[in-house]
Protein backbone atom coordinates (compact mmCIF):
# COMPACT_ATOMS: atom_id res chain seq x y z
CA UNK A 1 0.00 0.00 0.00
CA UNK A 2 2.81 2.47 0.73
CA UNK A 3 4.40 1.79 -2.65
CA UNK A 4 1.01 2.42 -4.24
CA UNK A 5 0.73 5.67 -2.31
CA UNK A 6 4.19 6.67 -3.48
CA UNK A 7 3.11 6.22 -7.08
CA UNK A 8 -0.06 8.22 -6.41
CA UNK A 9 2.02 11.02 -4.89
CA UNK A 10 4.10 11.18 -8.06
CA UNK A 11 0.88 11.98 -9.89
CA UNK A 12 -0.55 14.29 -7.22
CA UNK A 13 2.27 16.54 -6.12
CA UNK A 14 2.89 18.16 -9.53
CA UNK A 15 -0.86 18.42 -10.23
CA UNK A 16 -2.10 22.00 -9.88
CA UNK A 17 -5.78 20.98 -9.64
CA UNK A 18 -4.95 18.99 -6.51
CA UNK A 19 -3.30 21.97 -4.83
CA UNK A 20 -6.00 24.43 -5.84
CA UNK A 21 -8.75 22.28 -4.36
CA UNK A 22 -6.74 21.45 -1.25
CA UNK A 23 -5.94 25.09 -0.54
CA UNK A 24 -9.55 26.08 -1.26
CA UNK A 25 -10.78 23.46 1.20
CA UNK A 26 -8.39 24.60 3.93
CA UNK A 27 -9.30 28.24 3.32
CA UNK A 28 -13.04 27.53 3.46
CA UNK A 29 -12.67 25.48 6.65
CA UNK A 30 -11.01 28.49 8.24
CA UNK A 31 -13.62 30.93 6.94
CA UNK A 32 -16.55 28.75 8.00
CA UNK A 33 -15.31 28.29 11.51
CA UNK A 34 -14.39 31.93 11.78
CA UNK A 35 -17.74 33.14 10.41
CA UNK A 36 -19.73 30.86 12.68
CA UNK A 37 -18.03 32.25 15.70
CA UNK A 38 -18.78 35.81 14.66
CA UNK A 39 -22.51 35.40 14.41
CA UNK A 40 -24.23 37.57 16.97
CA UNK A 41 -26.59 35.63 19.20
CA UNK A 42 -28.60 37.68 21.70
CA UNK A 43 -26.20 40.57 21.30
CA UNK A 44 -23.29 38.31 22.16
CA UNK A 45 -20.65 36.82 19.90
CA UNK A 46 -21.36 33.14 19.42
CA UNK A 47 -17.65 32.57 19.31
CA UNK A 48 -17.25 33.12 22.98
CA UNK A 49 -19.07 29.87 23.64
CA UNK A 50 -18.05 28.18 20.36
CA UNK A 51 -14.31 28.51 20.85
CA UNK A 52 -14.23 27.05 24.38
CA UNK A 53 -12.39 23.81 24.95
CA UNK A 54 -13.56 21.09 25.05
CA UNK A 55 -16.86 21.98 23.32
CA UNK A 56 -14.86 23.47 20.48
CA UNK A 57 -14.06 20.08 18.96
CA UNK A 58 -17.68 19.09 18.46
CA UNK A 59 -18.49 22.47 16.94
CA UNK A 60 -15.47 22.30 14.71
CA UNK A 61 -16.28 18.79 13.46
CA UNK A 62 -19.87 19.80 12.82
CA UNK A 63 -18.95 22.97 10.90
CA UNK A 64 -16.25 21.17 8.91
CA UNK A 65 -18.68 18.47 7.86
CA UNK A 66 -20.49 21.02 5.67
CA UNK A 67 -17.44 21.17 3.44
CA UNK A 68 -17.10 17.50 2.53
CA UNK A 69 -18.12 17.97 -1.09
CA UNK A 70 -14.79 19.49 -2.11
CA UNK A 71 -12.61 16.49 -1.10
CA UNK A 72 -15.21 14.28 -2.80
CA UNK A 73 -14.99 16.30 -6.00
CA UNK A 74 -11.20 16.15 -5.83
CA UNK A 75 -11.33 12.34 -5.65
CA UNK A 76 -13.78 12.25 -8.57
CA UNK A 77 -11.40 14.35 -10.64
CA UNK A 78 -8.44 12.13 -9.75
CA UNK A 79 -10.30 8.94 -10.72
CA UNK A 80 -11.96 10.23 -13.89
CA UNK A 81 -8.64 11.74 -15.00
CA UNK A 82 -7.23 8.24 -15.08
CA UNK A 83 -10.00 7.27 -17.47
CA UNK A 84 -9.49 10.38 -19.60
CA UNK A 85 -5.74 9.79 -19.85
CA UNK A 86 -6.29 6.00 -20.22
CA UNK A 87 -3.64 5.53 -17.56
CA UNK A 88 -5.66 2.94 -15.62
CA UNK A 89 -5.41 0.78 -18.70
CA UNK A 90 -1.68 1.39 -19.02
CA UNK A 91 -1.05 0.58 -15.37
CA UNK A 92 -2.90 -2.71 -15.68
CA UNK A 93 -0.84 -3.50 -18.79
CA UNK A 94 2.33 -2.63 -16.89
CA UNK A 95 1.60 -4.92 -13.97
CA UNK A 96 -1.13 -3.58 -11.67
CA UNK A 97 -4.09 -5.71 -10.73
CA UNK A 98 -7.60 -4.25 -10.59
CA UNK A 99 -7.40 -4.43 -6.81
CA UNK A 100 -4.21 -2.33 -6.90
CA UNK A 101 -6.07 0.41 -8.76
CA UNK A 102 -8.70 0.66 -6.02
CA UNK A 103 -6.14 0.34 -3.23
CA UNK A 104 -4.07 3.14 -4.76
CA UNK A 105 -7.02 5.52 -4.83
CA UNK A 106 -8.11 4.42 -1.36
CA UNK A 107 -4.64 5.24 -0.07
CA UNK A 108 -5.08 8.77 -1.45
CA UNK A 109 -8.43 8.99 0.35
CA UNK A 110 -6.82 8.00 3.65
CA UNK A 111 -4.00 10.46 3.12
CA UNK A 112 -6.34 13.35 2.30
CA UNK A 113 -8.63 12.56 5.22
CA UNK A 114 -5.65 12.44 7.57
CA UNK A 115 -4.24 15.70 6.21
CA UNK A 116 -7.54 17.52 6.58
CA UNK A 117 -8.13 16.11 10.06
CA UNK A 118 -4.68 17.26 11.19
CA UNK A 119 -5.31 20.66 9.65
CA UNK A 120 -8.64 20.92 11.47
CA UNK A 121 -6.98 19.99 14.78
CA UNK A 122 -4.52 22.83 14.28
CA UNK A 123 -7.40 25.12 13.33
CA UNK A 124 -9.15 24.17 16.56
CA UNK A 125 -6.05 24.75 18.65
CA UNK A 126 -5.52 28.11 16.98
CA UNK A 127 -9.06 29.34 17.51
CA UNK A 128 -9.30 27.87 20.99
CA UNK A 129 -6.10 29.43 22.21
CA UNK A 130 -6.66 32.75 20.48
CA UNK A 131 -10.33 33.41 21.25
CA UNK A 132 -11.30 31.12 24.07
CA UNK A 133 -11.29 32.20 27.70
CA UNK A 134 -9.04 29.48 28.89
CA UNK A 135 -9.32 29.27 32.57
CA UNK A 136 -5.96 27.66 32.84
CA UNK A 137 -7.41 24.18 32.68
CA UNK A 138 -4.92 22.78 30.16
CA UNK A 139 -5.98 19.18 30.64
CA UNK A 140 -9.38 19.85 29.12
CA UNK A 141 -7.84 21.06 25.88
CA UNK A 142 -7.85 17.68 24.17
CA UNK A 143 -10.97 16.35 25.85
CA UNK A 144 -13.50 15.39 23.19
CA UNK A 145 -10.89 15.66 20.45
CA UNK A 146 -12.28 12.32 19.23
CA UNK A 147 -14.91 14.45 17.45
CA UNK A 148 -12.19 15.14 14.90
CA UNK A 149 -11.57 11.40 14.54
CA UNK A 150 -15.24 10.96 13.65
CA UNK A 151 -14.83 13.80 11.15
CA UNK A 152 -11.90 11.90 9.61
CA UNK A 153 -14.02 8.77 9.24
CA UNK A 154 -16.75 10.88 7.71
CA UNK A 155 -14.29 12.26 5.15
CA UNK A 156 -13.21 8.73 4.25
CA UNK A 157 -16.87 7.83 3.77
CA UNK A 158 -17.65 10.80 1.51
CA UNK A 159 -14.54 10.27 -0.58
CA UNK A 160 -15.15 6.51 -0.90
CA UNK A 161 -18.62 7.25 -2.24
CA UNK A 162 -17.10 9.81 -4.62
CA UNK A 163 -14.53 7.24 -5.79
CA UNK A 164 -17.23 4.66 -6.44
CA UNK A 165 -19.33 7.14 -8.43
CA UNK A 166 -16.28 8.17 -10.47
CA UNK A 167 -15.44 4.54 -11.27
CA UNK A 168 -19.10 4.01 -12.15
CA UNK A 169 -19.66 6.87 -14.62
CA UNK A 170 -16.04 7.63 -15.63
CA UNK A 171 -16.85 11.18 -16.78
CA UNK A 172 -15.80 14.05 -14.49
CA UNK A 173 -18.80 16.35 -14.96
CA UNK A 174 -21.38 13.63 -14.80
CA UNK A 175 -19.77 12.06 -11.73
CA UNK A 176 -19.68 15.38 -9.86
CA UNK A 177 -23.33 16.00 -10.67
CA UNK A 178 -24.33 12.53 -9.58
CA UNK A 179 -22.29 12.83 -6.37
CA UNK A 180 -23.88 16.16 -5.47
CA UNK A 181 -27.36 15.02 -6.45
CA UNK A 182 -27.10 11.95 -4.24
CA UNK A 183 -25.51 13.59 -1.23
CA UNK A 184 -27.69 16.71 -1.29
CA UNK A 185 -31.03 15.65 -2.73
CA UNK A 186 -31.68 12.04 -3.63
CA UNK A 187 -31.06 10.39 -0.29
CA UNK A 188 -33.13 13.03 1.53
CA UNK A 189 -36.04 12.27 -0.75
CA UNK A 190 -35.73 8.56 0.03
CA UNK A 191 -35.36 9.30 3.76
CA UNK A 192 -38.52 11.37 3.65
CA UNK A 193 -40.54 8.28 2.69
CA UNK A 194 -38.68 5.88 4.95
CA UNK A 195 -39.28 5.29 8.68
CA UNK A 196 -36.57 6.74 10.94
CA UNK A 197 -35.70 3.32 12.31
CA UNK A 198 -34.43 2.30 8.88
CA UNK A 199 -33.20 5.52 7.33
CA UNK A 200 -30.82 6.20 10.18
CA UNK A 201 -28.66 3.50 8.61
CA UNK A 202 -28.65 5.14 5.16
CA UNK A 203 -25.20 6.25 3.94
CA UNK A 204 -25.67 10.00 4.21
CA UNK A 205 -27.52 9.83 7.48
CA UNK A 206 -24.96 7.51 9.08
CA UNK A 207 -22.18 9.74 7.79
CA UNK A 208 -23.96 12.82 9.12
CA UNK A 209 -24.45 11.16 12.50
CA UNK A 210 -20.67 11.07 12.95
CA UNK A 211 -20.60 14.82 13.44
CA UNK A 212 -23.83 15.69 15.26
CA UNK A 213 -24.99 19.26 15.73
CA UNK A 214 -23.89 20.33 19.22
CA UNK A 215 -27.20 22.13 19.55
CA UNK A 216 -29.09 18.98 18.66
CA UNK A 217 -31.08 19.01 21.89
CA UNK A 218 -32.50 22.43 21.12
CA UNK A 219 -33.20 21.44 17.54
CA UNK A 220 -35.03 18.31 18.57
CA UNK A 221 -37.19 20.29 20.93
CA UNK A 222 -38.28 22.49 18.06
CA UNK A 223 -38.51 19.98 15.23
CA UNK A 224 -39.55 16.95 17.21
CA UNK A 225 -37.30 14.07 18.10
CA UNK A 226 -35.97 11.94 15.28
CA UNK A 227 -33.98 8.81 15.69
CA UNK A 228 -30.34 9.41 14.95
CA UNK A 229 -27.35 7.23 15.71
CA UNK A 230 -24.70 8.44 18.07
CA UNK A 231 -21.27 8.91 16.48
CA UNK A 232 -20.12 5.71 18.14
CA UNK A 233 -23.09 3.76 16.75
CA UNK A 234 -22.65 5.30 13.30
CA UNK A 235 -19.06 4.10 13.08
CA UNK A 236 -19.93 0.51 12.18
CA UNK A 237 -22.39 1.25 9.35
CA UNK A 238 -19.97 3.81 7.91
CA UNK A 239 -17.08 1.35 7.92
CA UNK A 240 -19.36 -1.13 6.17
CA UNK A 241 -20.32 1.46 3.56
CA UNK A 242 -16.67 2.33 2.90
CA UNK A 243 -15.89 -1.36 2.44
CA UNK A 244 -18.89 -1.73 0.16
CA UNK A 245 -17.90 1.26 -2.01
CA UNK A 246 -14.36 -0.08 -2.40
CA UNK A 247 -15.62 -3.56 -3.19
CA UNK A 248 -18.12 -2.27 -5.75
CA UNK A 249 -15.41 -0.16 -7.39
CA UNK A 250 -13.26 -3.28 -7.67
CA UNK A 251 -16.13 -5.28 -9.15
CA UNK A 252 -16.77 -2.53 -11.71
CA UNK A 253 -13.14 -2.60 -12.78
CA UNK A 254 -13.18 -6.37 -13.00
CA UNK A 255 -16.33 -6.70 -15.02
CA UNK A 256 -15.68 -3.94 -17.53
CA UNK A 257 -13.08 -3.47 -20.23
CA UNK A 258 -10.55 -0.77 -19.42
Partner 1 sequence: MADILDIQGLSKRYGAVQALDQLTIKVPEGSIYGLLGPNGSGKTTTLGIVLDVINASAGTYQWFGQPASQSTKRRIGALLETPNFYPYLTGEENLRITADVKRVDHARIPGVLQTVGLAQRRGDKFKGYSLGMKQRLAIGAALLGDPEVLVLDEPTNGLDPEGIAEVRQLIIDIAAQGKTIILASHLLDEVEKVCTHMAVLRSGKLKAQGPVSSIMAANDLVFISGGASLDQLLQIARTLPFVTDARPVNQQLQLSLQPETDSSELNRAFFSQGIALGQLVVRKKSLESQFLEIIKADSV
For partner 1, the binding residues (CB under 8 A) are 3, 6-7, 10-11, 14-16, 81, 85-87, 89-97, 255-258
**Shortest CB 171 distance to partner 1, Å:** 17
For every residue of 112-142, DSSP letters joined together read HHHHHHHHHHHHHHHHHHHHS---S-GGGGG
**Shortest CB 23 distance to partner 1, Å:** 17
Provide the 3-class DSSP secondary structure of residue 44: strand
231 Cβ contact partners less than 8 Å away, ≥ 6 residues apart: 147, 150, 209, 210, 211, 212
| CB nearer partner 1, residue 107 or residue 154 | 107
| CB nearer partner 1, residue 89 or residue 215 | 89
**Shortest CB 254 distance to partner 1, Å:** 8
| CB nearer partner 1, residue 42 or residue 255 | 255
For 199, other C-beta atoms within 10 Å of its C-beta total 20
Does residue 32 contact residue 66 with C-beta atoms inside 8 Å?
A: yes
**Shortest CB 16 distance to partner 1, Å:** 7
Provide the 3-class DSSP secondary structure of residue 46: coil
Q: What does residue 66 show for φ and ψ, rounded to 5 degrees? A: -75, -10
CA angle 214, 120, 141 (to 5 degrees): 65
| CB nearer partner 1, residue 97 or residue 226 | 97
| CB nearer partner 1, residue 78 or residue 163 | 78
**Shortest CB 49 distance to partner 1, Å:** 46
Amino acid sequence: MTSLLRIELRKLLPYSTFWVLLVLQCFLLFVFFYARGNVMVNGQMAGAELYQFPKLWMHLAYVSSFLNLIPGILIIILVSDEYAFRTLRQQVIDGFSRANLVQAKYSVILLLAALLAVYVVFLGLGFGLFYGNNTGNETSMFTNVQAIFYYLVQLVGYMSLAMFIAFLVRKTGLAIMLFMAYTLVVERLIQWKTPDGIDQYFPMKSLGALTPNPHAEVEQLILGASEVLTPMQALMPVVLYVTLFCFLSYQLLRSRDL
